[in-house]
Amino acid sequence: MPIKVSKLTHIYDEGMPTEQVALEDVSFTVEDGEILGIIGHTGSGKSTLLQHLDGLLKPNSGSILIGDVDITKPGVSLVDIRKRVGLVFQYPEYQLFEETVEKDVAYGPGNLGLSQEEISERVREAITLVGLDFDTVKDRSPFELSGGQKRAVAIAGVIAMRPQVLILDEPTAGLDPKTHDDILNMIRTIHQRTGNMIILVSHNMGDIAEIADKVLVMDTGKAIAYGTPIEIFSKGEKLREVGLDLPPVTEFCRKLGIPETVLTVDQAVQKIKEFIGA
């Protein structure tokens, strides 16, 4: 289901002395099945944008078409939006509240008013999809799990609602490198299995370079660039102006004087080989 965002504007505290334009004329389109990476430094409007996509905030003007429904229209119910879009917040493990993993993951689907069997099936599927063994974890308290497992359970809680668009706000924040890689691989698996669109906000340029099909760059509430990772990361100067870095490997190859934009370490090895002339 494609998403078309047009001229989205959001102003906090309009008319007050604390008025702040959080989003200004943001427009972009994401095709079905794509992974969109959103980058921008803290306070650039990324979080506000995500909350609009999930219907938690309404814009002052502009529209968000998901499939053929404009979710900014007053008549659209939240349940309708939830069936289309699932949003995983930053540090999602902080929302866990149930006694058992199974019950916690069932909370979202339960709110959609599904039958008991449907809920159980979805819960099992979601927990398996995030890489946990359903039978071992289902009766455990989510509070006893390790950091990485907690986060996986929290993500499963949103996946169990079977959204056609999955949005993740910095899903790897605060994790150690190993857990970071686990979560990133989990996102890849979810994408392969469901084929649905994923929108990923991250500060980690390396992750975005590796995983995204398209990249949206946000700065002071505006979408300032949109394109494939190669297109975006070949504009190093422009990114630096808005306080963003290139992926480390891209930066390194630029320093070496390799003309092409390199996104992964594997590509770098190849290009360095050619560069040396071996």
Partner 1 sequence: MIRDITLGQYYPADSPIHRLDPRVKITATLLFIIELFIVDNFIGFAICAAVLGIVIAVSTVPLKFIMRGMKPILFILFFTFALNIFMVKGEVIWELGFLHITKEGIKIAVFMAVRLVLLITGSSMLTLTTKPLNLTDGMERMLSPFAKLGFPAHEIAMMMTIALRFIPTLLEETDKIMKAQQARGADFESGNIIRRAKALIPVLVPLFVSAFRIAQDLAMAMEARCYRGGSGRTRLHEMKLRGRDFAAFLLEAAFLALIILEARYF
Partner 2 sequence: MDKVITVEDLTFEYNRGENAEPVKALDGVSFEIDKGSFTAIIGKNGSGKSTLAKNLNGLLIPTSGSVFVEGYDTKDDEAIWEIRQRAGMVFQNPDNQLVSSIVEDDVAFGPENLGVDPAEIRRRVDKALEDVNMGEYKMKAPHLLSGGQKQRIAIAGVVAMRPEIIIFDEPTAMLDPKGRKEIMAIIKELHGEGKTVILITHFMEEAIEADRVIILNAGKILLDGAPEEIFKRVDEIREVNLEVPMMTDLGDRLIAAGIDVPKGIIREEDMVEAICRLKSQN
Which residues lie near partner 2 (CB under 8 A)?
A: 41-43, 146-148, 173-179, 203, 243, 245, 248-249, 252, 255-256, 265-266, 268-269, 272-273, 275-278
Core vs surface per residue 182-215: b (16+ CB within 10 A) or e: bbbebbeebbeebebbbbbbbbbbbbbbbbbbbb
Residue 102 or 170 having the CB closest to partner 2: 170
> What is the β-pairing status of strands 61-66 and 3-12?
antiparallel
**In the complex, minimum distance from the CB of residue 183 to partner 2, in angstroms, rounded to a whole number:** 13
Residue 96 or 187 having the CB closest to partner 1: 96
- What does 196 interact with, of partner 1, partner 2, none (CB < 5 to 8 A by kind)? none
Contact pattern for partner 1 over residues 75 through 114, marking x by CB under 8 A: ---xx--x---xxxx--x-xxxx---------xx-xxx--
Residue 113 or 255 having the CB closest to partner 2: 255
Q: Which two tokens stand for residue 23?
A: 């989003």
Q: Which two tokens stand for residue 177?
A: 């490198």
Task: State which of residues 51, 149, 250, 261 lies at the interface with partner 1 (CB under 8 A).
Answer: 51
Task: State which of residues 36, 64, 130, 161 lies at the interface with partner 1 (CB under 8 A).
Answer: 161
The residue with tokens 């149930």 is 98
Reduced to 3 states (helix: H, G, I; strand: E, B; else coil), residue 110 is: helix
Applying CB under 8 A, the span of 13-21, 60-68, 206-214, 222-230 interacting with partner 1 comes to 13-21
Site for partner 1 in 134-153 (CB under 8 A): 143
Which residues fall within 8 angstroms of residue 207, CB to CB, at 6 or more apart? 37, 172, 184, 200
Reduced to 3 states (helix: H, G, I; strand: E, B; else coil), residue 154 is: helix
Separation of alpha carbons 160 and 236, rounded Å: 39
**In the complex, minimum distance from the CB of residue 41 to partner 2, in angstroms, rounded to a whole number:** 6
The residue with tokens 């990485």 is 148
Residue 152 or 232 having the CB closest to partner 1: 152
119 close to 106: Cβ distance less than 8 angstroms: yes
**In the complex, minimum distance from the CB of residue 245 to partner 1, in angstroms, rounded to a whole number:** 27
Task: State which of residues 101, 155, 158, 165 lies at the interface with partner 1 (CB under 8 A).
Answer: 158
244 close to 205: Cβ distance less than 8 angstroms: yes
Residue 134 or 275 having the CB closest to partner 2: 275
State yes or no: residue 174 binds partner 1 (CB under 8 A): no
Separation of alpha carbons 72 and 35, rounded Å: 23
Beta-strand runs (E) in 145-269? 165-169, 197-201, 214-219, 222-227
Q: Which residues of the chain form contacts with partner 1 (CB under 8 A)?
A: 12-13, 18, 20, 51, 54, 56, 78-79, 82, 86-89, 92, 94-97, 107-108, 110-112, 143, 157-158, 161
